[in-house]
Amino acid sequence: MTDERVMGKSEKESIGQIKRKNNYRKSRDESVVRQKVTRTVRESEKLKFEFKKENLKIIPLGGLEEIGKNITVFEYGNEIILVDCGLEFPEDDMLGVDLVIPDITYLERNKEKIKALVITHGHEDHIGAIPYILKQINIPIYATKLTVALIKNKLEEHNLLRTTKLHVVEQGKTINFGSMKVEFIRSNHSIPDSVMLAIHTPVGTVLHTGDFKIDYTPIDDKVIDLGRIAELGNKGILALLSDSTNSERKGFTMSESSVGEVFDKLFLNNTKRIVVATFASNVHRVQQIVNSSVKYGRKIAVCGRSMMNMIEAARELGYIEVPDNIFIDIDNIKNYRDDQLVIITTGSQGEAMSALTRMANGDHKKVTITPNDMVIISATPIPGNEKLVSKVIDELMKIGATVIYSSLEDIHVSGHACQEEQKLILTLAKPKYFMPVHGEYRQLMAHAETAKKLGIEQKNIFIMNNGRTLELNENEAKITTSVPNGKVLVDGLGIGDVGNIVLRDRQHLSQDGLIVVVMTMDSQTGEIVSGPDVVSRGFVYVRESENLMDDVKKVVRDEAKKCELNHIRDWTTIKSNIKDELRDYIFERTKRNPMILPIIMEV
């Protein structure tokens, strides 16, 4: 008989209880293990997901510590979106340079990542460099209707229109580029169709204001969409990049509509011909000039190619409302009395070849300024242009014309926000991080101070430099690496072939002039066979300084003789010795330092 057969009933029950307890413990242990494994898997999946979430990189390549050349890179993973692509006008020491554009070395290295170029508005400092960049990188462009029209004009001039994809985006729409989406938010500026950009990324939303002001009574009745900014702010904005141009000015920027009242006052009972100079891009200003002209029965002639192009584009797209018979050809102004005419022209910044400057100098072929003209300069000088504008005003007054400018009447308002408007955007957006853009260093600092007053911590405010990389996510932001950046100079058809050395030589030539020494030497003996002849440009007039030129020739002959006696036959060494000796001699005699160019021909 087996053990089971001899077991009593109670013993069998005890064994059964033990087995059930063991099975219970076993199943409970297995359940605990399964829970731990499940928890571990979930945590590992969470960690895995968080690891994949990369930082957003914001890299300004232009527009910081300068006014112009605006271009900013937004990079997430393998995607890049560019915001704006502007130019800068040359500084005084950039002799002969036409334009300055940003260095796009970083973009050329990463061109396969670039999804789009998104534009905030149609000013030159935001679209002017597009044709030059497209010659290096072909990328699609997204902008509002008027901005696209202005870009088209540029691309036609450079024969790039057929190869470039231009997309018109309405204000309020969102474009999906993959990991990043860009929302176009209606804004106000001194040109229609301006937008702010909400860039939606996996780590948060970045609001880029572009150039803006808050105008409650704009000419086109399209008020800035503050409601959408507030909505985004309530959801949470990771970072705000905001226009700093007027950050040193307290209060509010005046509404563009206030200028119309001043025009009406100047047009009322005025028997003079009226010439108005303003920015070609300021379509709303042109609309107000048109309104006053219609109201007081005057015809309008347009002067200046950029002004003609802008008005034509704006009329075609419906941004300027004007009766058909109000505009006349500039050639027909002689058929009208002075009190029947308004001339809208370029040249409000005193540019050398602009229409207004040529009028002031008496060089314009079709418009002659007389004492019966009132010239209204409806703009304020851009920093650096004050002397040019003052000179034009002086020349116009010498002719006898009445000149109205910003010091006399409020005939210009800025297109940029002052401190109170900047505070409103900061308050509505409630950003975690803040980066002032579009301004000189002092303006960036003033904007940062405004942000601090509104409670943004110093550690969350980033005063950036062009080329520096700001990496950020929901938890932190830090400045990391630098990328290539700088100024590329455009001179005629040459792009980037004028650098610091060429500019230095141009400055040297402009300040001290040039001396060229030409002579022929025997390659075997090192003896002078012919010359030396001396040619001077911008140093001294040769005929009036014959003695000095004779002494220069003697110095050259003596130095060449030394080289001959020392058996120096290397032309480079001989040229260098002559240049050094001649530089010392000329400085001792004249206290000048001209560029010296020895030319040696051998026989």
Domain ranges of the chain: 3-52, 56-251+414-491, 257-404, 513-602
Q: Is the pLDDT at 334 greater than 80, yes or no?
A: yes
Give the active site residues: 243, 416
Region 272-285: mean pLDDT is 93
Name the architecture of domain 257-404. 3-Layer(aba) Sandwich (3.40)
Which of these, 52, 70, 71, lies nearest to 179 by C-alpha position? 52
Q: What is the pTM of this model?
A: 0.80
Q: Provide the pLDDT for residue 351.
A: 86
CATH architecture of 56-251+414-491: 4-Layer Sandwich (3.60)
Q: Would you state the pLDDT for residue 27?
A: 59
DSSP codes, 494-555: EEEEE-HHHHHHHHHHHHH-EEEEEEEE-TTT--EEEEEEEEEESS--GGGGHHHHHHHHHH
Task: Kindly report the CATH number that applies to the domain delimited by 513-602.
Answer: 3.10.20.580
Which tops the pLDDT comparison, 97 or 159?
A: 159
| Per-residue pLDDT tens digits for 124-162 | 999 999 999 999 999 999 999 999 999 998 999 889 999
User: Which pLDDT does position 397 carry in this prediction?
Assistant: 96
pLDDT at 92 exceeding the cut of 80: no
In the block, tokens 């061109």 appear at 111
Q: Which of 162-171, 190-199, 344-353 has the lowest mean pLDDT?
A: 344-353
3-state DSSP of 539-568? CCCHHHHHHHHHHHHHHHHHHHHHHHHCCC
- Among 414-418, 552-556, 569-573, 578-582, the minimum mean pLDDT is found in 569-573
Mean pLDDT, the chain, as a whole number? 86
What's residue 29's pLDDT? 59
pLDDT in tens, 457-502: 999 999 999 999 999 999 999 999 999 998 888 776 667 656 667 6
Q: How far apart are CA 526 and CA 350, in angstroms?
A: 56
Model confidence band, residue 110 (pLDDT cutoffs 50, 70, 90): very high
Q: What is the mean pLDDT of residues 211-230?
A: 95
| Helices vs. strands in the chain: H and E counts, helices first | 17, 26
